[in-house]
Structure 1
Amino acid sequence: MIVDVHTHTPTHRDAVPPSERRAYDRWRPDRAVVTTNSWADYDEQLAAADVSIVFNIALPDPLGGTGIPTDPARINESTAEFAAADPARRIGFLSVDPTAPGSIEEAERCRVELGLRGVKLGPNYQRFDPLGPAACELYRWAERHGLPILFHQGTSPIRDAPLRYAHPLTMDEIALAFPQLRIVMAHMGHPWQRDTIAVIRKHPHVYADVSALPYRAWSFWECMRLASEWGATHKLLLGSDFPIATTAETIAALRDVNAIVEGTALPRVPEEEIEAIIHRDALAALGLERPAPGEASDARGDASPPAGGPGDATEETR
């Protein structure tokens, strides 16, 4: 089974009208990324995955300069509706701003009424202290209910997103305080992959995903080789960061990670470790069960977002 742990809820249910098409040229260094996308676009670009985890992020406004449409009132509803449309292949995560009034109540509503099964946070984008009391209250709630949290980790071209809020070493402190909380550190915390490796090898329930890494061939090889040397590749999970990349593109890049050192004496990332990442049972690692077809609850199953209308933001930066 192939599980893609890092995808973003499509912005539109139906085909994106030409007037609403948006692209952004700073998500990855090799090309611009179309940031408005449909449910059909998602299915096409996630075809290589058997199951995917999908989420929005609770932002009050669009990310500066990206042109990504955002509807704060539908951050979680649009994810729940999308996940419910194909419950055997999609698992939805909720997002809240821990510092907002009623954030725990909203998280509980998403868990109970919307059936969302994990949490997505981007402290740098949401501009909250990941070690502050409000954030810790949310971690405590998630740990109590067995919901994993996927954190944006690492750099960002968004000028007003504080980098210190997304540094991997903050995850060490969170894992120490909440040892049963299952955590995914997105993007291996690039460019601080070494710090991420130190954290994931130390804590049993802390993992990292490999999304947003393959477009920088040298640092991709280096961090994968370091993870192998430190015995930490078993803590790495497959993630595409749709719409930034596709599942198939990410798998192909993993299998080609050693190409940059061909013809040199530099060590290779073992092929068996690469294949293990591609086929890892991330759901088991995160304490999630694969839903059966038709499992969607009544609360989600009859809902649908506005046809062709913008949904919520894709927020990750590379």
Structure 2
Amino acid sequence: MAHRRFVDWHTHVFRPEHCGPVWTDRGTELVGRAAFGEADLTEHARVMEAAGVEQFALIGLQIANMGMFVPNDYLGGYLAENKGRAIAVGSVDPTQPGAADALRQAVREWGLHGVKLSPPYQGFHPHCDEAYEVYRAAADSGIFMMFHQASVFSPDGYLEYAYPALLDKVAREFRDTKMLLAHFGKPWMNETVELMMKNGNVYADVSTLPIKTWQMYNGLRLAIEGHVTDRLVFGSDFPSFNPRDAADDFLAIADLEMPLPIPRSVVEDILYNRPFDLITTP
């Protein structure tokens, strides 16, 4: 049976040398694949086509304390090859000198649509001055901010900086800038929904959650009751997960026999009706 094509809001591209020892070693330890899988440009293109992905977001990440550095020009070059099919979410590390200027330059040179930040991985409090310099650079550049504001796998991560509610202050003070929380803020989906209900500029993706059935079910029920499912988007988190498999697992949430089921119309709407202009124009 032919599958409907869909938008994947959360895919990574990198070469092995971009990942650093922590990402590589923990990937092997947790899922049996260094850096959680192959994700160079050739492999990314192959998998997206085979999975039936119509459009995709390319996400970079720079984490100085883990030795991870995916160059923004690596994303930018691939973005140029996929005009109209992709958006690019670059990264800077606010703990490093010149991060805000580096972001402005990357947006000018490569046309980035967003910036990926991670307080619990990069090791900064979301309210610190260095972070605010990056937020202002993003706002001035007209791009959205994507946050890994969720659990982390690294033993050296900072869970005290991971709570989604810490971004309420940022959402209030940057009302005209869209914010996208990766992984639905897991395991704090309740906080994430409250943040979304309060702040209309906050969105979330459901990447990695389809395999965590109980978390995904509860998160969707909370989102339904909070009337924010229109700001949830689908993501696979490739290469950790194959986009087709992740999409099928997500659709299967509607098949759970629960007293309060997840309507199939909700999961299909999230999977099939979330174009990139919800947040930005490719």
Distance in 2 between residues matched to 1:166 and 1:285, nearest whole Å: 25
What is residue 289 of structure 1 aligned with on the other side?
281
Using the TM superposition, give the Cα deviation of residue 98 of structure 1 relative to its aligned residue in structure 2, in angstroms. 1.9
Distance in 2 between residues matched to 1:41 and 1:148, nearest whole Å: 27
Contact kept, 8 Å, 2:193 with 2:223, in 1: the verdict is yes
* Cα pair distance change 1:25/1:213, threshold 3 Å: farther
Unmatched runs of 5 consecutive residues or more in structure 1: 14-20, 64-69, 291-318
Say yes or no: does 1:248 pair with 2:218.
Answer: no
Distance in 2 between residues matched to 1:178 and 1:26, nearest whole Å: 39
What is residue 24 of structure 1 aligned with on the other side?
27
CA distances 1:263-310 after superposition (whole Å, capped 9, x unpaired): x5x111111111110123342221x223xxxxxxxxxxxxxxxxxxxx
Supply the RMSD in Å over aligned alpha carbons: 2.2
Contact kept, 8 Å, 1:7 with 1:240, in 2: the verdict is yes
Contact kept, 8 Å, 2:65 with 2:122, in 1: the verdict is no
Distance in 2 between residues matched to 1:37 and 1:101, nearest whole Å: 28
What is residue 56 of structure 1 aligned with on the other side?
60
Which structure has more strand as a fraction of its residues? Answer: 2
What is residue 296 of structure 1 aligned with on the other side?
none
Bigger mean CA deviation after superposition, 139-148 or 233-242: 139-148
Using the TM superposition, give the Cα deviation of residue 208 of structure 1 relative to its aligned residue in structure 2, in angstroms. 0.4
What is residue 179 of structure 1 aligned with on the other side?
175
Distance in 1 between residues matched to 2:276 and 2:160, nearest whole Å: 29
Distance in 1 between residues matched to 2:161 and 2:12, nearest whole Å: 21
Say yes or no: does 1:5 pair with 2:9.
Answer: yes
- Match for residue 104 of structure 1 among 96, 100, 113: 100
Contact kept, 8 Å, 1:50 with 1:89, in 2: the verdict is yes
What is residue 232 of structure 1 aligned with on the other side?
228
Using the TM superposition, give the Cα deviation of residue 110 of structure 1 relative to its aligned residue in structure 2, in angstroms. 0.2
* 3-state SS, counterpart of residue 176 of structure 1: helix
What is residue 169 of structure 1 aligned with on the other side?
165
Distance in 2 between residues matched to 1:132 and 1:201, nearest whole Å: 25
* 3-state SS, counterpart of residue 203 of structure 2: strand
Aligned residue runs from structure 1 range 100-249, under 5 A = 100-249=96-245
Contact kept, 8 Å, 1:6 with 1:54, in 2: the verdict is yes
Distance in 2 between residues matched to 1:46 and 1:10, nearest whole Å: 15
Distance in 2 between residues matched to 1:25 and 1:212, nearest whole Å: 17
Using the TM superposition, give the Cα deviation of residue 115 of structure 1 relative to its aligned residue in structure 2, in angstroms. 1.9
* Cα pair distance change 1:23/1:163, threshold 3 Å: closer
- Match for residue 39 of structure 2 among 16, 37, 41: 37
* 3-state SS, counterpart of residue 256 of structure 1: helix
What is residue 95 of structure 1 aligned with on the other side?
91
Distance in 2 between residues matched to 1:97 and 1:46, nearest whole Å: 28
Contact kept, 8 Å, 2:13 with 2:58, in 1: the verdict is yes
Distance in 2 between residues matched to 1:140 and 1:85, nearest whole Å: 29
Distance in 1 between residues matched to 2:108 and 2:244, nearest whole Å: 33
Query: Which amino acid is the alignment partner of residue 55 of structure 1?
Result: I
What is residue 20 of structure 2 aligned with on the other side?
none
TM-score (norm 1): 0.78
Contact kept, 8 Å, 1:168 with 1:196, in 2: the verdict is yes
What is residue 301 of structure 1 aligned with on the other side?
none
Using the TM superposition, give the Cα deviation of residue 12 of structure 1 relative to its aligned residue in structure 2, in angstroms. 6.4
Unmatched runs of 5 consecutive residues or more in structure 2: 18-23
* 3-state SS, counterpart of residue 93 of structure 1: strand
CA distances 1:187-226 after superposition (whole Å, capped 9, x unpaired): 0111111110111122111100000101111221121122
CA distances 1:119-154 after superposition (whole Å, capped 9, x unpaired): 011111111221111111211221222100111021
Distance in 2 between residues matched to 1:112 and 1:80, nearest whole Å: 11
Using the TM superposition, give the Cα deviation of residue 22 of structure 1 relative to its aligned residue in structure 2, in angstroms. 7.6
Which structure has more helix as a fraction of its residues? Answer: 2
Identity of aligned residues (%): 28
Contact kept, 8 Å, 1:255 with 1:274, in 2: the verdict is yes
Say yes or no: does 1:269 pair with 2:265.
Answer: no
- Greater CA radius of gyration, 1 or 2? 1
Query: Which amino acid is the alignment partner of residue 260 of structure 2?
Result: P
